Amino acid sequence: MATALCGVLITGCSNGGGGGGDAKPQAKPAAEPKPLTEDALRPLLLSQADLGTGYVQIQEKPDSGNFDDVSIQGCSALEKLGQSGDETMFAAKAETSFTYDTDATLGEELHSDRPSVLSSKLRGLFGAYTSCPTYTMTAGTTPIEVKVAKSATPELGDEQFAYTSTMDLPSGPQVLKTMAVLKGNVAVMLVGAPALVDRHMKTAVGKLPAGS
């Protein structure tokens, strides 16, 4: 602690000699970029033109509360996350989703905040989801067994996070991949069929402004 204070308060940390003329004040850390607004994020979302043929954008209201009856059992980290969901919220958010060939989906969320906040909260979020190899998700009265495994990530942006979840649904197993890439003050998160997430993440990150 004393060393850190000496770095800031040079004049108050003399080594006792008179020959301290070579000491130079440390540069002030650069200020973090401010979060973008939702209006600034929306043009950065993927579009049908970005994705190509076969994709249809889903028209829906964001945060419509469709998942209010979903609960988690068998994974304490996720249970705590659900109880304090506001801790994972960022300053601004924009989202969209698509179907592909009628039976596959791809959802995108853009989050913006200070880079240190994005990094810390994404680490916590993905750390919670990969902390338990299996857990039970109850949607209404239907329990669904979920298996989770960490996934490889591409060399994009400043930080990358990914996991794959397999849900044992009555209609059969469904595999979804969740991947996030942090670049400056924006994080791109894609959720959907693993092949679609892998295919379009580079395009999604490429739409972000160079200074973000």
Average pLDDT over residues 85-92: 73
Q: Is 15's pLDDT higher than 50? A: no
Instruction: Kindly report, residue by residue over 155-211, the tens digit of the pLDDT.
Output: 999 999 999 999 999 889 999 999 999 999 999 999 999 999 999 999 999 999 875
DSSP 131: S
Instruction: Kindly report, residue by residue over 27-62, the tens digit of the pLDDT.
Output: 556 688 899 999 999 999 999 999 999 999 998 654
- Residue keyed to tokens 């942006």: 157
Q: Residues near 59 by Cβ (< 8 Å), separated by ≥ 6?
A: none
Q: What is the pLDDT of residue 81?
A: 82
- Does 144 map to a domain? yes
- DSSP secondary structure string, 69-107? TEEEES-HHHHHHHHTGGGG--SEEEEEEEEETTTEEEE
- Does 27 map to a domain? no
- Does 163 map to a domain? yes
Q: What is the pLDDT of residue 170?
A: 86
Token pair recorded at residue 109:
């969320």
Could you tell me the pLDDT band of residue 24, with boundaries at 50, 70 and 90? low
Domain that holds residue 69: 32-206
- Overall domain count for the chain: 1
Neighbour tally for 42: CB within 10 Å? 14
- Does 65 map to a domain? yes
- Does 159 map to a domain? yes
What CATH number does residue 152 fall under? 3.40.1000.70
Q: Is 13's pLDDT higher than 60? A: no
Backbone angles phi, psi at 134, to 5 degrees: -145, 150
- Does 8 map to a domain? no
Residues 142 and 106 sit within 8 Å (Cβ to Cβ): no
- Does 120 map to a domain? yes
Average pLDDT over residues 85-108: 87
